[in-house]
Structure 1
Amino acid sequence: MSEIKFDIIKNIGILSEGNKGWRRELNIISWNGRKAKLDIRDWDETHIKMGKGITFSKLELKQLKDILNEIDIDELDIE
């Protein structure tokens, strides 16, 4: 299995932090030298180890933003 290369272009923000120091972050990341995408995933304190995550292209991010703007978060039955 080949090594995954990444470059965190910009940290947008921290969404949450676990009790072991790992943080769920929103970042702009270039994976394997490709064009940067918005990325949400868990990272260790040194940004060497990472958990599974999800990336969004600009078009996908626009769609997600439109969807989120249409819902009332307070009415969702979620934790």
Structure 2
Amino acid sequence: MAEIKFEIQEEIGVISNSGKGWTKELNLVSWNNNAPKFDLRDWSSNHEKMGKGITLTNEDLKALKDLLNEMNL
């Protein structure tokens, strides 16, 4: 399996913390030297390990923001 290369270009914020030192974060990440995308996933404290997550383009993130704004939370 090919190695996945990533570079966190901007740490935007932590959404939650687990009891085991991992955090769910929104970051701007470049995957395999491609243009950076918004990325939501769990990370170990040193950002060496990651869980499954999703990547979002600017348009995806705006659409998600609009949907969240419409919700009655």
What is the TM-score of this pair, normalised by structure 2? 0.96
Structure number with bigger Rg: 1
* Percent of matched pairs sharing the same residue: 53
When the two structures are aligned, how many residues end up with a matched partner?
Answer: 73
The RMSD of aligned alpha carbons is 0.6
CA deviations 1:6-47 (Å, max 9, x no partner) are 000000000111111001011000000001000010010110
Q: Which runs of 5+ in 2 are unaligned?
A: none
Partner Cα separation in structure 2 for residue 65 and residue 18 of structure 1: 24
Structure 1 residue ranges without an equivalent (≥5): 74-79
Query: Runs in 1 of length 4+ with deviation above 3 angstroms?
Result: none
1:62 offset after TM fit, Å? 1.0
TM-score normalised by structure 1 residue count: 0.89
